[in-house]
A and B are shown apart, each in its own frame.
Chain A
Amino acid sequence: MIVGNRKPLEEILEMVKPYKKILLLGCNECITVCAAGGEREVGVLASELKLSRAKNGGEIEIKEHTLERQCDFEYIDQIKPFVDDYEAIVSMACGAGIQYTAERFPGKVVLPAINTTFLGVTLEQGVWSERCQGCGECILHLTGGICPVARCAKSLFNGPCGGSSNGKCEVNPDTPCAWQLIVDRLKELGQLENYEKIIEVKNWSTSRDGGPRTRVREDLRIPKDS
């Protein structure tokens, strides 16, 4: 899932300073699961904003609304009937959702309440961890199912750097060295020969370096003239 963090209240207060009527828009998917921008977090932020405004003698009207998703226009368009009653939208979706909401309502101010951080997993309730960087050309079959792009601080492809010690990464002693994990796993799988294979210089053009990416499935597209 996409994992994000609620922005500090101070930052959000600064953004909403000019507005008295805001639409606080949550998202029911990834950002709900990572407890940053779902219905509950929308409730908490709304309450914090109201308390803060009231404390400082100001007023704020907030409509709390959580969409099924903010990355599909069919859902975003559900706010059409009432969006104009509000001066600004504060979105609690991931960066993709925030942008798509802004795209659907070009005349509306759309503000981010979330810092989107990574693609990851839930380690335990309340703890999330990064796993993938969407590089566009997966090599997990060579690395024992452990991603050197996302989990090695230097995204190394052919073994650890000199900073790997006692299984930990030199960048942070709490972070396991991805290459230690890879070698351990390859051993367990009896696939150490994979470690001998040289992974050639990666073509990063399938990743972010090639510019923003678009995926098309022609068979699924609905012809414009139909």
Chain B
Amino acid sequence: MRLSYPTNVKVVKVPCTGRVDVLMVLKALESGVDGVYLAGCEIGDCHFLKGNLRAVKRIAYAKELLKEVGIEPERVEMYHIATSDGPRFAQVAKEMTEKIRALGPNPVKDKNKAFKA
């Protein structure tokens, strides 16, 4: 199955979405990326039992923090995609890219001189 997905999506591999900490998400945005989404396993399918459930809560918390900062919380999202579901992976990548494109670039990247260099 050869599927294509938007080239702007950079994949960061983690052993489980349960490994993802709120700070990782914030740091990514700080570094100027326009959005972050987690592609976790389906609910109930976590190899480590509760990793993806924890990730759901952490993404919800990250959204709260972004709201506090005044950055669109929609820049951060949680998706559940079965490991075998390639088409869904490609579809989510497209969906998220379109969503972020509609929001425009990360306001931090826009304003921070460091990113303009």
Q: Residues on A close to B: CB < 8 A?
A: 8-10, 40, 43-44, 47-48, 50-52, 54-57
Given A8-B68, A9-B69, A51-B23 contact (CB < 8 Å) = no
Across chains A and B, the number of contacting residue pairs, with CB separation under 8 Å, is: 42
A32 to chain B minimum Cβ distance, whole angstroms, is 15
Number of interface residues of B (CB under 8 A): 17
- Which residues of chain B are near A55, meaning CB under 8 Å? 69-71, 107-108, 111
- Which residues of chain B are near A8, meaning CB under 8 Å? 68
Question: B25-33, B84-92, B93-101: which one contacts chain A?
Answer: B25-33
A-facing residues in B53-106 (Cβ within 8 Å): 65-66, 68-71
- Which residues of chain A are near B68, meaning CB under 8 Å? 8-10, 48
B49 to chain A minimum Cβ distance, whole angstroms, is 15
B16 interface hit (Cβ, 8 Å) = no
- Which residues of chain B are near A57, meaning CB under 8 Å? 111
Task: For the complex, give the distance between the alpha carbons of A23 and B71 in Å.
Answer: 24
**Nearest B residue (CB) for A55:** B107
| 4 closest A-B pairs by CB | A47-B26, A54-B112, A9-B68, A54-B108
- Which residues of chain A are near B71, meaning CB under 8 Å? 51, 55
Does B111 contact A44, Cβ atoms closer than 8 Å? no
B59 to chain A minimum Cβ distance, whole angstroms, is 14
Task: For the complex, give the distance between the alpha carbons of A44 and B107 in Å.
Answer: 19
B46 interface hit (Cβ, 8 Å) = no
B22 interface hit (Cβ, 8 Å) = yes
B19 to chain A minimum Cβ distance, whole angstroms, is 15
**Nearest A residue (CB) for B29:** A51
A89 to chain B minimum Cβ distance, whole angstroms, is 21
Does B108 contact A44, Cβ atoms closer than 8 Å? no
Chain A CB within 10 Å — which of B22, B29, B69, B112 has the most? B69
Does A47 contact B27, Cβ atoms closer than 8 Å? yes
Does B65 contact A44, Cβ atoms closer than 8 Å? yes
B68 to chain A minimum Cβ distance, whole angstroms, is 4
Task: For the complex, give the distance between the alpha carbons of A48 and B47 in Å.
Answer: 32
Q: 11 pairs across A/B with beta carbons < 8 Å? A: A8-B68, A40-B21, A44-B26, A47-B23, A51-B29, A51-B30, A51-B71, A54-B30, A54-B112, A55-B111, A57-B111
- Which residues of chain B are near A52, meaning CB under 8 Å? 69-70
Task: For the complex, give the distance between the alpha carbons of A56 and B69 in Å.
Answer: 10
B24 to chain A minimum Cβ distance, whole angstroms, is 10
